[in-house]
Chain A
Amino acid sequence: MTPFPEAIHLQRIVFGYNPRRTVLRVDELRVEAGKRVFVYGPSGSGKTTLLGLITGILKPQQGSCRVLGIETTKISASARDRLRGSQMGYIFQSFNLIPYLTVRQNVALPCQVHERRRRNILAATVHEEVERLARRLDLETHLDHNVKQLSTGQQQRVAIARAVIGKPSLVIADEPTSALDSDRRQAFMDLLFEVCDEAGATLVFVSHDRSLMTHFHEQISLGDISRVGE
């Protein structure tokens, strides 16, 4: 179905914020398209750096980085920004939302920035698509609220909606459940999986919490694939 068998394929990556001091080496990382992958790593193991490389915020000093069929080391910074915005959804640990926009505007943001996301919506208009997702994520009564009025759990659900609107090929979640209590965590995971499956997106879920591991098709330990600080 997807034009590329692997959503992510990193090979022999070497990266350091200072080129003389390598902070992350990855010999190989493969994520098949359409899979739900759990990336485990304790704090300081380079999770954030790895996500920076996958999303094209960072560029490795060496190695190859194929994401969604595109070799991101060979394209310009703004082309990487475009790839990220148009084909990836991103969920942060917390503070996912732009404080001065309403819930509705926050969810619709990727569609406003990228034509491709706008084209891919399931409903007829962006407005309706936002409402559809809001119903799906039990947010429909909060759409015109200020994001500051929402609970943490609600904010994280808004983040899911924003990540999956316009059917991105890849959804990246960076410790999205760490601010939630255990009951909400399960509900959040279920919703996330449902909407990612609906969008047909590959999910890369990064966490230090091994208890979540069992929900995923595949588990990758960052410690196994990378050697840090060598």
Chain B
Amino acid sequence: MTILRLAWQSLLSRKFTSGLTIFSIGLSVMLLVGVDCIRQGAQQGFEGTLSQTDLVVGARGGSLPLLLYAVFHLGSANNEISWDTYQHFAHHPAVLWTIPLAMGDSHRGFRVVATDDNFYEHYRYRGDHSLQLAQGSRAEGIFDAVLGSTVAAQLHYHLGEKIVLSHGLEGSFLKHTADPYTVVGILARTATPVDRAIYITLWGDEAMHYGWQNGAPPLQAVPESQIHKSDLQIKTISAFLLRTRSRISTLFLQREINTYKPEPLTAIIPAYALEDLWSVLSAADIALSLVSGAVLVVGLLVMLTALYSSLNERRHEMAVLRAVGLNARQIFALFIFESTLISAVGAGFGLAAVYLVLFAIRIPVENNYGIPLVMVGISSRVLSYLGAIVVAGALLGFIPAIRAYRNALVDGLSAT
């Protein structure tokens, strides 16, 4: 106990160097743990975005791009699915529900997703959370729009607002000015990419492109009042989400969809596609971890340097401690306590900093990059990092301890 107090007071007396050392270790711990927390947070964020969906179906293509555009609104669909094909699977006996998704338009940087009631009814995220309307109602009419919470917050839109959608994504010059949409509902916050989109009906999507030919608008725009549901025919969608009646049939159904003769399709199991994403990212993850590991080694070496270079000025202190009867083990303990304290406080400081930063950047990252970040707990990997840092700190304490002990033997009780 006395030794621990001595170690503590000795560190306090060298506040500046101890502080700097703790700071450098803290910073490196922050990097190391931060990489891990962000990776985990993003993983959980992505995984939480979509639940209870067994298959995501799109036109024939890569599974990862399909998942990214259909669920996370990243990238775009390169092909479409015919309405007939969708109807075929929507009424398939093994299917419990489907959510059609038609994408391709945007509004001031936010995706416009055309869907139907099934979306509000069946979409689930983070286990069993369903979508809630914070204000207003679902989009029912052709020119109704429902906003994700981020869209409403960032653009300061309220119910009744008239909005004009653009054809294509960011900065398109083709605006559907003839057909303004009215905000009829705003979704409650989900902390998933759902918040970053505008939802209209499938009819609305068709109406927007009413009279278009070969991807170009008609010369004379058709006024909103002249478009009725009966004039519209839904021809294609971009993708659909699907839940089977029984989990067991997922694989059979996936196979059936992938080999569907009338139209080339791709059906993916979201969790497996995410696994692909993580394995793509794991190389980057390893590289980042290596860099932060190297930074950590530097941090620990800074501590070693600080402790080692303090030895000369501590010769008198060692002589006094030997004179009052501290034995070799206690002298060792003093140095090991000091280095352990530094590394433990540094690790704690780094860990706290990670969570503060994560807490601070979570919302901006989600809003600006659409990457959902979840505040994750301390994983066993992080715990083992922290353990390793403290143990490494303790072991490094042996080096100055050995030197101090040797000095003390040579100096005896005179260090003048």
Contact = CB atoms under 8 A, between A and B. Distances in A.
Given A51-B413, A92-B413, A113-B2, A100 B9 contact: yes
A95 B312 CA distance: 13
Contact of A49 (B2, B6, B412): B412
A69 interface: no
A92 B323 contact: yes
B401 to A, nearest CB: 15
B323 A100 contact: no
Contacts of A200: none
Given A57-B322, A113-B324, A48 B412 contact: yes
A52 B410 CA distance: 10
B321 A98 contact: yes
Interface string A50-79: 011001011000000000000000000110
Contact of B413 (A52, A109, A110): A52
Contact of B324 (A57, A83, A94, A110): A110
A128 B415 CA distance: 31
Nearest to A78: B327
A186 interface: no
B325 A174 contact: no
* 8 shortest interchain CB distances as A-B pairs: A85-B325, A100-B13, A81-B327, A95-B316, A52-B412, A90-B323, A78-B327, A112-B2
A162 B324 contact: yes
Interface string B323-365: 1111111000000000000000000000000000000000000
A82 B326 CA distance: 8
19 contacts: A17-B410, A48-B412, A55-B413, A57-B412, A58-B412, A81-B325, A84-B323, A86-B325, A90-B324, A92-B323, A92-B414, A93-B414, A94-B416, A95-B316, A98-B320, A99-B317, A101-B9, A105-B9, A113-B324
Nearest to B414: A48
Interface string B389-416: 0000000000000000000011011111
Contacts of A174: 413-414
B319 interface: yes
B326 A113 contact: yes
Interface string A16-52: 0100000000000000000000000000000011011
Contacts of A58: 412
B413 A57 contact: yes
Nearest to B2: A112
A155 to B, nearest CB: 11
Given A101-B9, A110-B325, A174-B414, 9 more contacts: A52-B412, A78-B328, A78-B329, A81-B328, A82-B327, A88-B325, A90-B323, A90-B324, A100-B10
Contacts of A92: 316, 319-320, 323, 413-414, 416
B12 interface: yes
A51 B123 CA distance: 85
Interface of A: 17, 48-49, 51-52, 55, 57-58, 77-78, 81-86, 88, 90, 92-101, 105, 109-110, 112-114, 162, 174
Interface residues of B, number: 27
Interface of B: 2, 6, 9-10, 12-14, 316-317, 319-329, 409-410, 412-416
Nearest to A146: B13
Contacts of A105: 9
A51 B323 CA distance: 11
Task: Select the residue from A93, A94, A109, A162 with max chain B CB neighbours within 10 A.
Answer: A109
Contacts of A55: 323, 413
Nearest to A79: B327
Given A97-B320, A113-B2, A85 B326 contact: yes
A95 B416 contact: yes
A88 B319 CA distance: 14
Nearest to A82: B325
Contacts of B410: 17
B325 to A, nearest CB: 1
A19 to B, nearest CB: 14
A93 B322 CA distance: 15
B5 to A, nearest CB: 8
A30 to B, nearest CB: 22
A100 B413 CA distance: 19
Contacts of A88: 325
B415 to A, nearest CB: 7
Given A84-B323, A109-B324, A113-B325, A100 B12 contact: yes
Contacts of A101: 6, 9
A96 to B, nearest CB: 7
B413 A85 contact: no
